[in-house]
Amino acid sequence: MYQNYIFTGFGHAAGKYIITNDELELAAKNNYLKGFREDKIVSGKNYKTFLEKHPGVSPFSYFAEYKMGFRSRHHVSPFPPGEKYFQNYETSLDLAVKSVDNALQDAGIHPEKIDAWFFSTVSSPEQAPGLAATAKCFFTKFSNQNPTMTIASGCSGFMLNLERALNYMMCNPEVKNIVIAHSETMSSFLWNLTHYVNFVTFGDAAAAIVISKADGEQPEGIIKIKNLQDIKMIDFVGVDKEWNLYMDDVVIKERATANIPHVSRIILDETGWKADNVDMVIPHQTGNAILHECAEKLNIPLHKLYQDVQYDYGNVSGATIPLGFSLLQKANRLKPGMKILAATAGVGGIYGAFTYVMPGKIQKTGSYDIKEDLKGKITLVTGCTGGLGFEVSKELAKRGCELILTYNSNKEKAGKLEDELKKYAINYEFLKTDFAVVTEVDNLISFVTNKYGRIDFLVHTSAISGGLVRATDVSDAKLKEVSQINQFSPVEITKRLKKLISDVILYVGSVAEEAQFTGSSPYVQSKKGLHGFAASFAYEARSSGIRSIYYMPAIISGGMTGELEEKHIAAAKMSINQYDDITKQEVAERIVKSLYVPKVLKVRDSYEGALIVRKDGYFL
């Protein structure tokens, strides 16, 4: 039997804005992008010959696509990129988390079964603690102590981490699964640049691979790997202290076309392969000028050179090789026994290669079943028949959580929720409670105290609008009712049940606290009152080991704002910088994840003392 190290899961993510060559050509014609000499192309013999078989292809498209080898690239922001966009759009951390999630899903491995997390990037949104340490927080519970490592490396980041992961596994026999990810927003280095080559070349993407130990009857997976450094490249490609990309195309081509064949020959010899044995080459995709010359030097035909990443995503630094694997896996092109050579050369003069044999059968070492996430936990959800409370209750049930659910009078909606909960093997209990009636709230507290020895999570979703819109006169009675339901009853429940709560108190606030709506004063006043209590009580809760979260969703499609006119909704979205619509289901999933993992995508956290204020879908 052989101890093999195989790729068990692949995932990737890319910036959502696809920047085409046509868009870049227009920018060049408008003199935004500089350096392109159309007259030089038009007068050239090669272009004239090319047009005979490809009539109508512009000089820019000819050079960008057919000569350089790039059709499109993905950016996290619209073209042209700029700092103003990066305040609101995805970062390399966001892309990394998405790619890892996809890889874990593909592998069928739960995040808690990942023994180490190795990440690399040169475009991190933070200086410390590092991309790996932060990204892991989107997947594992606070109790998870498995190590993370981040390296600041560009083109060879994945290759370096792959070698480190192999060494780590060999030195730690108990380690079974490691996530290796590289993420890059290369467009963030282009803010102050206008040369067209940079814009044609670079894109934003992340890719992740799960590598696992597996016994096999023959060698499979990683066969050999080697990383080297060419110091002659040290001053000719990089990112300066002003966050600007610099590169000398001539030196890069000269060294890369020497280094990639050199390390590839070494690794092929160590593996015992000839060039003819290689079924596919997955390179760091820097453009045709480098890759085609490297293939020629290695006597590998171009049809074995995988360049789809280059064509459709651009040069995405160290993410290119794992992205290639991920795209091939998604297209079902990775066949058992396939012999693959992967090679890279780039920033810092780091270059390397590895050989890989596709396993005959990938042994899944675990499962990614979310019903294990909250198994054995108990959550009290107030207002379970409200739009958001309904979805939160469903999400908790999907994750195996036992539920205590309060509702006021909507028996029909409670019945529909119960029908949903029956799909999951969980315990649940509905408690009819009118939050406007103090005695009913007292009875709820007494019942829960007497029956349940603990509550892991308390989630307050109960609320009424109380004249959110079209209210000119609000009676004292209405104001009192809204305040009692939205503020005073949740406060009383929280204070008196605190001794039962073990993990988290989560209050659902409202965007109306910051985006004012006509006639919303009773609702806003009550929510601000609850917010104030949450901030104050968070210190007392923290002393008992309880986290407190005040969760403020942006305008939810089909939520309370359904009564508002479109112009009021548009104005409110503009006032809070809400760019995308969000649904109750999306918000509910993020609320539930907030209960057991430290960080959640698409939210922004701030702290008011001991209180975590989590804003979902908008930026202020």
Average pLDDT across the chain, whole number: 92
Mean pLDDT, residues 498-525 taken together: 85
Question: Is the bond preceding residue 129 a cis peptide, omega within 30 degrees?
Answer: yes
Question: What CATH number is attached to the domain comprising 462?
Answer: 3.40.50.720
Mean pLDDT, residues 200-205 taken together: 97
Q: How far is the first Cα of the chain from the last one, in angstroms, to the nearest whole number? A: 58
Q: For 338-437, where are the E strands, in sequence order?
A: 339-345, 350-357, 378-382, 402-407, 428-432
Residue the block writes with tokens 């000569």? 67
Q: What is the pLDDT of residue 569?
A: 81
How confident is residue 518, by pLDDT bands cut at 50, 70 and 90? low
Question: Are residues 187 and 331 both part of a single domain?
Answer: yes
Question: Are residues 353 and 378 both part of a single domain?
Answer: no
Radius of gyration (C-alpha) of the chain in whole angstroms? 28
Question: Are residues 326 and 189 both part of a single domain?
Answer: yes
Which ranges of 38-195 would DSSP assign to H, the alpha helix? 38-42, 45-53, 59-61, 83-86, 92-107, 131-136, 157-171
**469 belongs to a structural domain:** yes
In 3D, which of 566, 367, 380 has the Cα closest to residue 461?
Answer: 380
Question: Are residues 305 and 397 both part of a single domain?
Answer: no
Taking the CB of residue 217, how many other CB atoms lie within 10 A of it?
9
Question: Are residues 465 and 567 both part of a single domain?
Answer: yes
Q: What is the pLDDT of residues 244-261, one digit of tens each?
A: 888 888 899 999 999 999
**366 belongs to a structural domain:** no
Which ranges of 196-355 would DSSP assign to H, the alpha helix? 196-201, 249-271, 288-297, 308-313, 320-330
Mean pLDDT, residues 177-197 taken together: 94
Query: Which one of 328, 357, 386 terminates a domain?
Result: 357
**148 belongs to a structural domain:** yes
Residue 505 has pLDDT above 50, yes or no: yes
Mean pLDDT, residues 132-157 taken together: 96
CB 351 within 8 A of CB 229: yes
Question: Are residues 311 and 350 both part of a single domain?
Answer: yes
- Span of 32-41, 175-184, 294-303, 355-364 with lowest mean pLDDT: 355-364
Question: Are residues 38 and 144 both part of a single domain?
Answer: yes
Mean pLDDT, residues 8-35 taken together: 96
402 residue type, one letter:
E
Residue 467 has pLDDT above 60, yes or no: no
Question: Are residues 319 and 395 both part of a single domain?
Answer: no
478 vs 461, more confident: 461
Residue 479 has pLDDT above 70, yes or no: yes
Q: What is the pLDDT of residue 620?
A: 67
**474 belongs to a structural domain:** yes
How confident is residue 468, by pLDDT bands cut at 50, 70 and 90? very low
Mean pLDDT, residues 370-378 taken together: 93
Per-residue CA distances from 264 to 4, 197, 275, 338 (Å): 21, 27, 10, 17
**99 belongs to a structural domain:** yes
In 3D, which of 214, 158, 148, 219 has the Cα closest to residue 184?
Answer: 158
Q: What is the pLDDT of residue 212?
A: 96
560 vs 79, more confident: 79
How confident is residue 470, by pLDDT bands cut at 50, 70 and 90? very low
The DSSP symbol for 50 reads H
Residue 67 has pLDDT above 70, yes or no: yes
Question: Are residues 343 and 445 both part of a single domain?
Answer: no
Please name the residues in contact with 594: beta carbons below 8 A apart, sequence gap of 6 or more.
504, 506, 549, 551, 600, 603, 614
Q: What is the pLDDT of residue 49?
A: 93
How confident is residue 363, by pLDDT bands cut at 50, 70 and 90? low
**367 belongs to a structural domain:** no
**363 belongs to a structural domain:** no
Please name the residues in contact with 411: beta carbons below 8 A apart, sequence gap of 6 or more.
none
**364 belongs to a structural domain:** no
Question: Are residues 193 and 133 both part of a single domain?
Answer: yes
d(CA 612, CA 550): 6
Mean pLDDT, residues 95-101 taken together: 98
Query: Which one of 357, 384, 414 terminates a domain?
Result: 357
Per-residue CA distances from 314 to 15, 70, 253, 385 (Å): 11, 6, 17, 48
> Across-strand partners of 215?
3
pLDDT more than 70, % of the chain: 95
509-519 residues labelled b (16+ CB within 10 A) or e (exposed): bbbbbbbebeb
> Across-strand partners of 155?
none
Q: The pTM is what?
A: 0.93
Question: Are residues 465 and 326 both part of a single domain?
Answer: no
How many domains does the chain contain in total?
Answer: 2
Q: What is the pLDDT of residues 532-548, one digit of tens each?
A: 999 999 999 999 999 99
Question: Are residues 154 and 228 both part of a single domain?
Answer: yes
Domain that holds residue 221: 2-357
The DSSP symbol for 125 reads S
d(CA 7, CA 224): 14
Question: What CATH number is attached to the domain comprising 133?
Answer: 3.40.47.10
397 vs 516, more confident: 397
Query: Which one of 357, 391, 418 terminates a domain?
Result: 357
